[in-house]
A = this chain, B = another copy of it.
C-alpha cells in the first residue's frame, strides 16, 4: 500500500500537497490570467519540460474566461461492476462526491479518467456545485454529461468530448488528491493549472511564480509583435528579435502603451 511520507519531494507526494494549496499568490494568479497556455508552454519548454500540456481537452463553452488555480485531483480506475452500482452514491464518502465538496475555492478539479470518454467524469449538477463553492474550473481527460448545461454555467470546464453515461458505467472513483496522469501529462496536487481556448497546461508548483513573471513579459513582447505583423512587418529579425532595431522598437512600444 502506498504510504504518504512527510518528505516534501514530489516523488511520493504527501503533506506538502496540503501546503501547496496555499502557495499560489494573488499576484501570480492575476498575472497568469493575462497570459496564454501557448506562451506558458514555451516558457516550460525552455526549462526542458515538454509534456505539461494536457492533450486533447477542449473548453465546453466558447467564451469562458482563462482558468487559473491549483490542482486538486481525483483518480478513476475502470469500474468493476459489483463495486459500482447506483447505490454507491448514497455513501457520502464516495470520492467523486467528496471531491466536489472538498475541492478548495480557487482550485481546479483535475480528473484522471484514463482518456476514456465512454462514460462521463461528472455532470452539470456536480459542476454547478463546484461553481457555487468558488472552484476555479474543472478538467477531465474523459467527457462530461449535460455538456450544454455546463457550457451555460460559465465556469471554465475542459474535456475530450460530451458523454452521456454516468461515471459508474466505466469509471470507479478511487482516490482524491494524489498524483495523477491527465491527458498524458503528470499532475501533482498543488501544480498550477492554466486553461484557455488552446486547452490546459500544468505548471509545476515550485516554478509557478517565475513562470508567471516570465510569461507576463513574453506576452507584452508578443502583443507588440502581433501588432507589428498586422501592420505588415516581416517576422525575420522581429520574432525572435535578432534585428537590433527590434528591442528598441519594443521599448518605444512599451513606453507608448504603458506596458
Contact = CB atoms under 8 A, between A and B. Distances in A.
Interface of A: 1-4, 10-15, 17-18, 36-38, 40-42, 45-53, 55-56, 58, 75, 77-83, 86, 88-95, 97, 100-101, 114, 117-118, 120, 123-126, 128-129, 132, 145-149, 161-166, 168-170, 172, 174-181, 184-187, 189, 196-199, 201, 204, 222, 225-226, 229-230, 232, 234-237, 239-240, 242
Contacts of A229: 125, 128-129, 132
B45 A179 contact: no
Contacts of A93: 11-12
A143 to B, nearest CB: 8
A158 to B, nearest CB: 11
A89 B201 contact: no
Chain copies in the assembled complex: 6
A1 B164 contact: no
A135 to B, nearest CB: 13
The interface centre, meaning the residue of A4, A38, A237 with most chain B CB atoms within 10 A of its CB, is: A38
Given A51-B80, A78-B184, 9 more contacts: A1-B13, A1-B17, A2-B176, A10-B80, A11-B93, A12-B174, A38-B146, A38-B164, A125-B225
B169 A41 contact: yes
